[in-house]
């Protein structure tokens, strides 16, 4: 265990940060409604949801950037708006403006100086894959390289709790895998990590737990495997002469989509669906039935939520 933190048996450590019945409105928009979430040491919590679901608002409350209208946010047992509590966190936001003229290593030196026990700068550079470009001015970096600098600034202080908002957008495959590896290493060293991402493959690869938000509410909070099992359990794909509306009208169909000429249906009772589909289409072809990955589960759960909340 590094960083001098005391290990707790899994599931028993007090949360590093939490939302307790938290709500936030922007005028008529309820960005978050009665949200309960916590994140513990040694886990990656992925906060998932469609655009506008409330992910950034949840991160804003947990990091003290915005205040809750109802309920509360906690950081290390205190108020996240307290600057002392915030010293224990590292944050990588979606958009960050940094002085263009400073060089990569200078940025990291400067940020490290804000923390009580920062990592050696050379180690931060190495972890973020920046060693070769440490002397380059920030303005001379590509978008992906600038994103890696922002990641370096979030981890340079050895934070007990790290917030990373879409950390791998714009990164090439190798850099993305590098960030995943560092996040896993920090988690294994005992840090808590809150990750938001639209790459569900990324959440599947990294998350110990997933919070799925829709319309500002928690739709599901579970392990990735648990989320998958809550969703419709099977995906059926086939080429069909029926149009999408005809397939969507099948009683068993939870959600339907057309991709490259293949119709995809999420359902709980594939046998019943198939009997109906085969009876309706004598030319059904290229049939494929399989379990859901996290992306399929996300689509299925959010589609059921949207149907349930339609006026």
Ligand X SMILES: Nc1ncnc2c1ncn2[C@@H]1O[C@H](COP(=O)(O)OP(=O)(O)OP(=O)(O)O)[C@@H](O)[C@H]1O
- Contacting residues toward ligand X, per CB under 6 A: 26, 29, 31, 49, 51-57
CB of 223 to ligand X, least distance (A): 21
CB of 4 to ligand X, least distance (A): 34
Nearer to ligand X, 65 or 103 (CB): 65
What span, in angstroms and rounded, lies between the C-alpha atoms of 259 and 166?
26
What span, in angstroms and rounded, lies between the C-alpha atoms of 145 and 129?
9
Residues in Cβ contact with 302 at an 8 Å cutoff, skipping those fewer than 6 apart: 49, 50, 212, 214, 219
What span, in angstroms and rounded, lies between the C-alpha atoms of 284 and 2?
58
Return the structure tokens found at 119: 């990592």
Nearer to ligand X, 103 or 217 (CB): 217
CB of 121 to ligand X, least distance (A): 31
Residue of 92, 79, 66, 68 lying closest to 17 (CA atoms): 79
Sign of the C-alpha dihedral computed for residues 156, 191, 82 and 217 taken in this order: positive
Sign of the C-alpha dihedral computed for residues 275, 277, 279 and 284 taken in this order: negative
CA torsion 189-40-169-306 (nearest 10°) is: 160
CB of 52 to ligand X, least distance (A): 4
**Percent helix, strand and coil across the chain, each rounded to 5?**
35, 30, 35
SS3 300: helix
CB of 54 to ligand X, least distance (A): 4
CB of 29 to ligand X, least distance (A): 5
Tokens 């906690």, residue located: 74
Nearer to ligand X, 26 or 114 (CB): 26
Residue of 74, 67, 5 lying closest to 32 (CA atoms): 67
Bridge partners (DSSP) listed for residue 213: 218
CB of 213 to ligand X, least distance (A): 6
Residue of 201, 224, 93 lying closest to 147 (CA atoms): 93
CB of 311 to ligand X, least distance (A): 17
What span, in angstroms and rounded, lies between the C-alpha atoms of 150 and 153?
5
């Amino acid at each position: 265990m590094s960083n001098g933190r005391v290990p707790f048996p899994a599931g028993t450590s007090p949360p590093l940060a939490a939302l307790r019945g938290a709500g936030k409105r922007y005028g008529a928009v309820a960005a978050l409604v009665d949200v309960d979430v916590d994140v513990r040491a040694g886990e990656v919590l992925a906060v998932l949801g469609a655009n506008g679901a409330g992910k950034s608002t949840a991160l804003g409350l947990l990091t003290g950037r915005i205040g809750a209208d109802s309920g509360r946010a906690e950081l290390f047992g205190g108020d996240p708006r307290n600057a002392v509590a915030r010293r224990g966190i590292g944050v990588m936001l979606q958009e960050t403006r940094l002085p263009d003229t400073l060089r990569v290593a200078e940025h990291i030196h400067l940020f490290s100086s804000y923390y009580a026990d920062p990592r050696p700068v050379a180690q931060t550079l190495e972890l973020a894959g920046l060693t070769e470009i440490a002397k380059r001015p920030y303005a001379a970096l590509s978008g992906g390289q600038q994103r890696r600098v922002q990641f370096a600034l979030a981890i340079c202080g050895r934070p007990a709790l790290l917030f990373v908002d879409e950390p791998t957008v714009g990164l090439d495959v190798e850099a993305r895998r590098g960030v995943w590896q560092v996040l896993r290493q920090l988690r294994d060293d005992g840090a808590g990590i809150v990750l938001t991402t639209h790459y569900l493959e990324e959440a599947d690869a990294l998350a110990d737990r997933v919070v799925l938000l829709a319309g500002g509410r928690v739709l599901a909070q579970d392990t990735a495997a648990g989320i998958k099992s809550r969703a419709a359990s099977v995906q059926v794909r086939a080429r069909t002469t029926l149009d999408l509306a005809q397939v969507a009208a099948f009683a068993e169909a939870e959600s339907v989509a057309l991709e490259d000429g293949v119709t995809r249906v999420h359902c709980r009772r594939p046998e019943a669906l198939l009997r109906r589909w085969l009876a309706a289409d004598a030319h059904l072809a290229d049939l494929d039935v399989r379990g859901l990955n996290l992306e399929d589960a996300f689509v299925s759960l959010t589609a059921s939520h949207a149907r349930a909340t339609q006026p």
